Structure 1
Amino acid sequence: MSRTAREQAAPRGLHRSLAACPLAVAALGLTACSRPPADHGAPAASVSAGGPAASAAAGASFSSPPPPHQAPAAGARLGALAWETTVRERPSDKAKALGYLRAGSVVAASAQPVGREGCGAGWYKLEPEGFVCADPSNATTDVEHEIVRAMSRRPDTLARMPYAYGIVRRGGPVFGRLPTGAQAEASEPGFEARLKEWLAAPGEDGAGFRAEHWLAGRTAPPASELWGQHTTREVPWFLADGRAPPANLSGYPPAGSEGIVLARTKHHNGFAFVDSAVSEGRRYAISTQLFLVPVDRLRPVEGSSYHGVEIPGEMTFPFALVRRAGPLMRADGKKLVRERDVERRAALKLSGKQKKFGDRLYFETADGLWISDQHASRLDPAKKMPKWGKQGEHWLDVNISKQTLVAYDGTRAVYATLV
């Protein structure tokens, strides 16, 4: 059940889809695959502080003007305004889509439109490839635009995961703007009692569990102290004074002038977050789409430290990746005897031999021991190279049944991991 996916050459920071979820990498960042409604985004963990500071320091005046946007490099720039700003192969709405830019991305572009087919505002050529329509809801040449500035916090591509992630442990409201205590109580009757339970709870269900996860690298008093003092702090300029974000990127219906609740979460929904803010003692996580979820309703999720293996630097074919911990067995006549245990995610060099003992398939390791296919997946070079692989392009071979991924540089395997 193997599946290949290709990554073509594209504008600097713009990647084509590698499967169902496009990895839209802009010159200043990349998207997370987090789209509403239903189960938004999916787990994972660390926040980039790139771009201008997104939040005011504690005690700063929230009514002060937004901080200036970090000046781009010399030359014309185009900023993405839509959650998915499509990049096309030619300056036409009928042209093939190459990928997309996430809202807030800023890329090098032509100074003037190069065509207007299907786009009255004009198509701008990206460097080095692709075209974007500068419709007011799609993109802009004004990199000081509020949406561009509000979305300026970029993903951390060197961290385990590009954003901070949370899984809903108790369903509740999704807020379109930062609520006051009274607004929160109206939306969540009895929330104060539940919040106090969370503050006192031990372990993974309590306020002390990975509390730094939501701080985007800052330091802050404990949640109990913030609540005790009903502090308001770390509020980004675009949420100050009860203001709604400059755009509704969530896909949820607008809350309207009187309401602040966009939707309600369900148990185990997952979201990606770029920052957080404290309103009257309660901390709210700010999503990549600028809606807010109370952190007391979330369980922080951190990415794995597992990095897979480099080929051939760390391992050569054939080899096995251990999906779950289990025994390495020694052959004793027609039976197997437990020799030692092997940890999950270990990489084992194989001899190439495999055979059945009873009704189970086993792979022989280079040192003559055996491991069951119930615990490990065998990896071999791709038997059939796709055309683009033979042409030297980068591509991925994903095997769902084995739960493995192998990255290829042309016909040469360079990396493997579990998925």
Structure 2
Amino acid sequence: MTIQSVRAQPVVELDQGTADMRPILQNPAAPVNLAQRLKAQPALASVRADTFEVAEIAEGIIVRQFLSYQLKPGVCANPESRRAIAAQGIECFARKTPGQRQSSLADRTNDARFIANAASRRQALASATAATAEQQQEIDQDVAQLRQYLTQAEYRDQIGAAEADRLAAMSDADLQAEMLAQAEIEIEEVMFVPNLEAQDLRIQARPTFGVTQRPPRRGYRLAAASAEREAEDARVLRQGGTAQTSSLPPAHRRGPSDLRRGPVSPRGPSDLAAPPPLDLEQDIAIDREFYLTGFTLGRAHEWRKRVSITVKWCLFGCRRTYYVEPYAGFSYGFGLRFPVRMDGTYKYRHQNGTERASFTPEFRPINANANQYGRTGLASSQRFGGKELVAEATAYTGFLYKLTGGRQGNLSLLDVGVDLTDRLLSPVS
């Protein structure tokens, strides 16, 4: 699936229905739309990769967008091109002074940075100042390495003498800004969209379950021969006890020619040979099955977006990758379920030419576990640990990060959940 085909037909056909991609296509900040705008401005940036994927799973679909681009040299240094790239939704990096950093933490209109508590604000500022100093020391070492490369013929030939002279004439601050401007930017956005229609219960019966197979008869050949003899005797009786020829298959009429003769009129009951008795009894235990009645409603939405930047501070090597990845999720479940186990016996009888079959089921309510809920065909997202009564909701948000100096981690901003069944009194709980 390509983004071109999705733009031509935004309602995508899936095995479980359709998916409308128009909300993504109509979002200016979506990576696929940013890629489209950058491709229309080749003088400003080069798009290195542009991917749009839709993966279908049982619970819904996963939509992944990926964009990798790099600004052209000098774009952020020129005011006109800087405005042009900003119009596409990309901001060039800008250095902040310590005063700007401090004022942003105290600015109530800046929701992302504002810290109301003065003591916490001072602590955050001190931590940011120390981190900036550590980062700057690392960058200064890489820039010093770059200046050495710019004087060596081997590296000057690779980037061109004119470009090498342009970079060498820059100050350290301008050189750092140039390397940042030429960084490789990657944006990956992944979201999980659940099924539009609730699949409360899916019965996935075994192909052979419910299909009655006749049990094998003991002495099958004898039973076939007996049936043929019964049919022949009935025909002879209908014809008054005489017959010109035998209707039995040739295999039953073989023998010496002087012994071959047609049937004679029966002179009494003793002349009519009775078929051999065929008695068969068989009990077959049916495999245990699990069923579920009631209802289950559940949804789980997930989203994450990673923006990473890879800077080659010394142009040849010295690759440093930093990223930030915000994520969020929300799920809920409500349901009242009653699992039932079915056992049973299939009985087959064949006595005196009469066949009889019966099935005796046994249904028992059980306290099923999550695995047994799964055997009923219930989706994994709706099993909820095998609970009969479900009333819960969860929400979480945070971000992953990797910064200079090897600092990385997972900062959870919100992680809450409530299970209303915990408030029920025994024995319901």
Please classify the TM superposition score into its range, dividing by the shorter chain length: under 0.3
Higher RCO structure (Cα 8 Å, ≥6 apart): 1
Q: Please, what TM-score do these two structures have when normalized by structure 1? A: 0.20
Higher helix share: 2
